Amino acid sequence: MFGLFKTKEKKTVILAPTTGTLMPLDDVTDDVFSQKMMGDGFAVQPEDDQVIAPAGGTISTVFPTKHAIGITTSEGLDILIHMGLDTVELEGKPFSIAVSLNDHVEAGQALATMNRDQIKASGYDDTIVVIYTNMEKLKNYPTVVREHVVRGSQIGEIVYA
């Protein structure tokens, strides 16, 4: 009978959006991300051009310049997947988007392909940043350390407030 009235914590598994080196936001060379002005999260220095959904939800934003995609989870958490640093200036050229606004996506589903060679040849950093933009929705989220990850592998779990 004890615990009958406890509500079960709501959690979402977070996946690596691509294969590469996982790192904390503190290590990102762009101050907007490293100083967590938009929220907290993690980054991946990619070894792969394929980008997948780190969590399931509804596509809430597809930037016209194709460099960033937003997902809103069923619990209302907004997750921004930002491909490259300052790549907004490339006007979408190195990106191919596989989803549309309001599409429902599952964790691990293809979101985009980015041409890393084209991004780097244009003088930009190809780091992928994943940000939880409305942190008040979260009680806990994964703390990451620098390590190699494979696209689709579990980074950790977010726990909703």
Q: Which of 67, 82, 104, 148 is catalytic?
A: 82
Amino acid (1-letter code) at residue 159 = V
Backbone angles phi, psi at 136, to 5 degrees: -65, -15
**Local structure of 157: helix, strand or coil:** strand
Other Cβ atoms closer than 10 A to 91: 12
The verdict on whether 148 is a catalytic residue reads no
Amino acid (1-letter code) at residue 141 = Y
Nearest to 43 by CA among 157, 153, 160, 145: 145
Active site (catalytic) residues: 82
